C-alpha cells in the first residue's frame, strides 16, 4: 500500500492534529464534529494530507489551530494525559497517512463524534486494530455477502446453486471485482438463488 507521505513525518502530524482536536473541543468548547468541519474547510487540512513542510511541519499546533479557527492563536496548555479527543485526532492522522485518503473521505465514512465513541476500548489497543475499524466503514459489506448470509448459504453452496464459480463469488465479496461489472447472466443466476432483484446485488 502506498501511504500519503514519508512515515518519518507521521508522528509530528499525529501529535499536532491530536493537540488541535483536544484544544478545540476541551479548551474552546467547540463540538468535535463542528471542529472537524472547520478543519476540513481550512488550508491546514490539505497541508496535513501532504505533510507540507511550511504549514504542517513548520508551524505549531496552536498556530495551526488559529488558522483553522481564523483567530489569533493564544497560549493554551494541553493536558498531560491523552484525552479521548486527542486520541481522535491522533487516530485520524494515522488513518489519513495509512489509507492515503483525504480527511473528507475518512470523516464522511466515520464522523469524529462516532469515532470518539470508540475511545473505549480502542485507545488501549495497537492502532492497527483501529485500521480494521476504519476498513469496516470505508468498505462496507458487499450486498452479495449480506444476501448470501441471510440465506445461510456458504460461498460454495451459492456457487453450486447458481453455477457461478466460487472464485468469482469470493472476488465480488472481497471487492476485488466490482459485481456491477458482472455479466447479466451471472447477476440473474445469483439473484434467482438469493430471491432478490439484480438491483439489490449491485446497489
Domain with 153 in it: 143-202
Residues 69 and 129 in one domain: yes
Is 108 inside a domain boundary? yes
| pLDDT above 60: residue 80 | no
The pTM of the full predicted model, rounded to 2 decimals, is 0.73
Is 72 inside a domain boundary? yes
pLDDT (tens digit per residue) in 2-12: 999 999 999 99
Residues 111 and 160 in one domain: no
Residues 148 and 133 in one domain: no
Domain boundary pick from 138, 161, 181: 138
| pLDDT above 70: residue 78 | no
Instruction: Write down the mean pLDDT value for the chain.
Output: 93
Residues 152 and 74 in one domain: no
Residues 152 and 99 in one domain: no
Residues 112 and 158 in one domain: no
The number of helices, as runs of H, and strands, as runs of E, in the chain is 14, 0
Is 1 inside a domain boundary? no
Residues 120 and 74 in one domain: yes
Domain boundary pick from 138, 171, 189: 138
pLDDT (tens digit per residue) in 144-185: 998 999 999 999 999 999 999 999 999 888 877 888 889 999
pLDDT at position 73 is: 79
The conformation of residue 182, written as its DSSP 8-state character, comes to S
Sign of torsion over alpha carbons 68, 70, 72, 74: negative
What's the distance, CA 37 to chain centroid? 15
pLDDT (tens digit per residue) in 66-75: 999 999 877 7
- The percentage of the chain sitting over the pLDDT mark of 90, rounded to a whole number, equals 80
Instruction: List the CATH number of the domain containing 171.
Output: 1.10.260.40
**What is the mean predicted confidence (pLDDT) over 70-87?**
81
Is 2 inside a domain boundary? no
pLDDT (tens digit per residue) in 106-153: 999 999 999 999 999 999 999 999 998 998 888 777 899 989 999 999
Residues 125 and 147 in one domain: no
Residues 101 and 180 in one domain: no
Residues 51 and 117 in one domain: yes
Specify whether the CB–CB gap between 40 and 105 falls below 8 A: no
Residues 89 and 178 in one domain: no
How many structural domains are present in the chain? 2
pLDDT at position 137 is: 87
pLDDT at position 79 is: 63
Is 104 inside a domain boundary? yes
Cell of 13: 502530524
Residues 129 and 148 in one domain: no
Is 39 inside a domain boundary? yes
Specify whether the CB–CB gap between 13 and 51 falls below 8 A: yes
Domain boundary pick from 123, 138, 153: 138
Amino acid at each position: 500500500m502506498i501511504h500519503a507521505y514519508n512515515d518519518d513525518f507521521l508522528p509530528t502530524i499525529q501529535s499536532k492534529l491530536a493537540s488541535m482536536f483536544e484544544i478545540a473541543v476541551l479548551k474552546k468548547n467547540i463540538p468535535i464534529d463542528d471542529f472537524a468541519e472547520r478543519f476540513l474547510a481550512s488550508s491546514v487540512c490539505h497541508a496535513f494530507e501532504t505533510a507540507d513542510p511550511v504549514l504542517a511541519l513548520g508551524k505549531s499546533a496552536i498556530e495551526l489551530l488559529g488558522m483553522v479557527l481564523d483567530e489569533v492563536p493564544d497560549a493554551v496548555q494541553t493536558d498531560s494525559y491523552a484525552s479521548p479527543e486527542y486520541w481522535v485526532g491522533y487516530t485520524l492522522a494515522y488513518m489519513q497517512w495509512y489509507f492515503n485518503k483525504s480527511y473528507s473521505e475518512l470523516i464522511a465514512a466515520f464522523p469524529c463524534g462516532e469515532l470518539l465513541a470508540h475511545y473505549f476500548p480502542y485507545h488501549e489497543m495497537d492502532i492497527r486494530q483501529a485500521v480494521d475499524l476504519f476498513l469496516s466503514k470505508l468498505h462496507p459489506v458487499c450486498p452479495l455477502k449480506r444476501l448470501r448470509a441471510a440465506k445461510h448459504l456458504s460461498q460454495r453452496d451459492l456457487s453450486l446453486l447458481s453455477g457461478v464459480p466460487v472464485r468469482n463469488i469470493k472476488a465480488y465479496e472481497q471487492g476485488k471485482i466490482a459485481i456491477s461489472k458482472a455479466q447479466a447472466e451471472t447477476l440473474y443466476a445469483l439473484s434467482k438463488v438469493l430471491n432478490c432483484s439484480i438491483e439489490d446485488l449491485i446497489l
